[in-house]
Amino acid sequence: MPEMTRFDVQARIAEIRALAEAARDKKAAYGPDLDLSRFNPAADAQSVESLESLEKQVKEVALGVGIDTKEENRSGTYFQVDRSPIYERVTEMYGGKLEIMSTAQALQLYPELMYEKYYWRAVAPDKDKYTAQVALQPTEGYFIRVLPGQKIEKPIQACLFVSENNISQNVHNVIIMEEGSEATVITGCTIHPKVREGLHAGISEFYVGKGAKLTFTMIHNWAEDFDVRPRTGIVVEEDGTYVNNYVLLKPVKSIQSFPVARLVGARSRAVFNSIVYGLADSYIDIGSESVLEGPGSRSEAVARTVTKDRSIVYSRGRLVGRTNDCKAHLDCRGMVQSEQSTQWAIPDLASEGAPGAELSHEAAISPIAAEEIYYLMSRGVPKDEAVSMITRGFLDLEIPGLPPALKRQIDKALEETAKESM
Amino acid sequence: MTDPAPLLVVEDLHVSVGDREILRGVDLVISEGETHVLLGPNGGGKTTLLNTIVGLPGYRVTQGRILFKGVDLAGLDIDERARMGIGVAFQRPPAVRGIKLRQLIEVAADGRFDEAMLADLVGELSLENMIDRDVNMGFSGGEMKRSEMAQLLAQAPDLTLFDEPESGVDLDNIAVVGAAMTRLLKAERAGMSKRSGLIVTHTGHILEYVNADIGHVLYGGRLACRGNPRDLIDEISRHGYDKCVECAICQR
Ligand SMILES: Nc1ncnc2c1ncn2[C@@H]1O[C@H](COP(=O)(O)OP(=O)(O)O)[C@@H](O)[C@H]1O
Ligand SMILES: [Mg+2]
């Protein structure tokens, strides 16, 4: 990184703290309010020499969220258990192209740069009580930096793992894509099978530099009594591209997430793809916002949601045009498969002083078509299998740029979920 | 040679859709190896008869019965009937988002199909541009029929029902569809007699490409007339359905 002019780190730390203190009890705009005092602080975990030495159960659940503990076909790994980074590694061929460490380490290594430009700059510490909690009681998180011009062909993987019951994991992640760099990051968030309840609050700040491209895929796999509050901010510069893929196929108590991408650079782009399966009593409130500021900026958000059982799903999408030459589209389709479930599709478009902005949306909620079920049955497919095939097909977004192995894992998870929920 | 065994027996079939009775006593026997043709005016109930045999909900049998291979189909689900050997080419099959034609061919084949057979099918029906697309999504009329034929060739039913296979299809495609139908109906089955078919046609064009043994006219909720399919079509095109029902060529 280039030499920085002096920046008053201590003053900024105090400022972040003051902002967070003031927001301690500030309810979030969406989602059920949580009493944060009922969660215990996250405990320490032991570092490991190799991911292969992890307990078998841990490896299995990690695999379920796209984390390959053999690290085959991965350029690097970050693995955190509860509050401790237990493993960080950049594979040899990517040495000098890529940095992976905990955010705390990055703050030590690049204090001025981090505090001035990246840490709490895309997400505000006083946004709500969850950002405040992470600011006041941080429990690590990953820092990934891809150096200028480096194209990292193999995905980088990061696992945020909760191993103890009823703790609050408050991670803060930062990804910096330097000018002209490209990478795919897979983040898997999951828990040990013994964990019933707890909280994952995660701040993610992603900076996509000039002409850089970040494909970020997040797979969530929680438990029926687990609460999740990610807070994500993305800044995309000139000719930069950000692709966000989100997959949630298992029950959760509540999750509320609404990443915001600011497309500040000319011709910058953001794409959001979400696949959500509402099961059991899950309360899921997900969405995305693209703020189009740079001339020629483009955004597209596609969401597919299915609700079963007694689940509640909100699928939001907001497009804000602030420049004349911008174009964005939302496409949210929901399928309701139970009498007790609820779905909301909430598209939201705004043009702020930008008469040339072209913003559009398609939102639909519909049942599974009986005619399609009969069609498959007429080829000899039993009814329950036909329903499961159609549901899988509906959720299959054919996300471009997804590594084939990850695609197979998602397909497998979709298949399992469809089977289990029958 | 002994007479071929009856494969499908429809006896005094009455079918209502909603509270309207559409079929009012249909009798029909299709034996192994036979291809029958079903003619009749628009709205006469041809599709209703096919869908009732297939087992689609909404077609209520109020009287009579359908036997397939000697088994009464009442109470059997669509998929059970399909697995017994009944196949159908729909006139307007639905588009299914996220399900590829390839997947449907695979499930229809139910494990009887390998890569080489699939490749042959793709070549024969020119499916190159369709095989990895969502089934029927944005397919042209001809593509839709070719897709139906591919699924049926994979399924290899003992009895295939075709609902207006020529509708919405240009001449080039009719020839391809007709050839596939012929292959489907004339395929030799090891140690068994040939397959059977029931072709619904409004125009009769398809009969230039497929041989059929017996024709019927569905009129007034019954099979009013039976004869050589070509003679029936000539008669209908000259005198219309009303006269046809009373005419001399009818063997009933
Ligand atoms: N699903 C349905 N709902 C309501 N009416 C139907 C339905 N299917 C068929 N019908 C009615 O039954 C009659 C026979 O239709 P159909 O079997 O499609 O005739 P054909 O195939 O000979 O043209 C028509 O009057 C049609 O409107
Ligand atoms: Mg019809």
Which tens digits make up the pLDDT trace of B44-63?
A: 999 999 999 999 999 999 99
Minimal C-alpha gap between A253 and chain B (Å):
29
Q: Is the CB of B42 under 6 A from ligand 1?
A: yes
A364 touches B at CB < 8 Å: no
Which tens digits make up the pLDDT trace of B60-90?
A: 999 999 999 999 999 999 999 999 999 999 9
CA A329-A331-A334 angle, to 5 degrees, is: 165
Q: Is the CB of B44 under 6 A from ligand 1?
A: yes
Average pLDDT of chain B is: 92
Q: Are B79 and A395 a contacting pair at CB < 8 A? A: no
What is the reported pLDDT for A145? 98
Over chain A (422 residues), the average pLDDT of each successive run of 10 is 76 98 97 96 90 92 90 94 94 94 97 97 98 96 98 96 95 98 96 96 98 96 95 98 94 97 98 95 98 98 95 98 97 94 97 97 94 98 93 83 74 75 60
Hunting for tokens 């969220």 — which residue is that? A65
The span from the CA of B233 to the CA of B238, in Å, is: 8
Q: Rounded to 5 degrees, what are φ and ψ at B79?
A: -70, -35
Residue ranges of alpha helices (H) inside chain B are 46-54, 78-84, 101-109, 115-124, 141-155, 171-186, 229-244
The span from the CA of B85 to the CA of A368, in Å, is: 27
B78 touches A at CB < 8 Å: yes
Question: In chain B, what are the domain boundaries?
Answer: 6-91+159-250
* Structural contact between residues B150 and B101, judged by C-beta atoms closer than 8 angstroms: yes
What is the reported pLDDT for B190? 54
In A4-128, which ranges are E strands?
40-41, 76-81, 84-90, 98-102
Give the closest residue to A176 by CA, choosing from A95, A239, A122.
Answer: A122
Which tens digits make up the pLDDT trace of B86-96?
A: 999 999 999 99
Q: Are B97 and A395 a contacting pair at CB < 8 A? A: no
- Which A residues, 370 through 399, put their C-beta within 8 Å of a C-beta on chain B? 370-372, 374-383, 386, 389-390, 392-396
Amino acid in position A220: H
Compare B203 and A271 and report the one with higher pLDDT: A271
Hunting for tokens 């990850």 — which residue is that? A406
Range B218-240 burial, b when 16+ CB lie within 10 A, else e: bbebbbbbbbbbeebbebbeeee
Q: Crossing angle for the helix pair A129-136 and A9-22, nearest 10 degrees?
A: 140
What is the reported pLDDT for A2? 58
* Structural contact between residues A379 and B107, judged by C-beta atoms closer than 8 angstroms: yes
B98 touches A at CB < 8 Å: yes
Q: Are A395 and B98 a contacting pair at CB < 8 A? A: yes
What is the reported pLDDT for A161? 96
Does residue B191 have a pLDDT over 80?
no
The span from the CA of A202 to the CA of A188, in Å, is: 12
What is the reported pLDDT for A6? 83
* Residue B28 pLDDT grade (very low, low, confident, very high; cuts 50, 70, 90): very high
ipTM score over 0.85, yes or no: yes
* Structural contact between residues A248 and A276, judged by C-beta atoms closer than 8 angstroms: yes
Question: In chain A, what are the domain boundaries?
Answer: 9-368, 369-422
Q: Return the H-helix or E-strand segment holding B25.
A: strand B20-31
Q: Is the CB of B52 under 6 A from ligand 1?
A: no
Minimal C-alpha gap between B155 and chain A (Å):
7
What is the reported pLDDT for B249? 61
Span between the terminal Cα atoms of chain A, in Å = 53
B151 contacts on A by Cβ (under 8 Å): 379
Fill in the DSSP letter of residue A396: -
The most distant pair of C-alpha atoms in chain A lies apart, rounded to whole Å, by: 72
Superfamily (CATH) of domain B6-91+159-250: P-loop containing nucleotide triphosphate hydrolases (3.40.50.300)
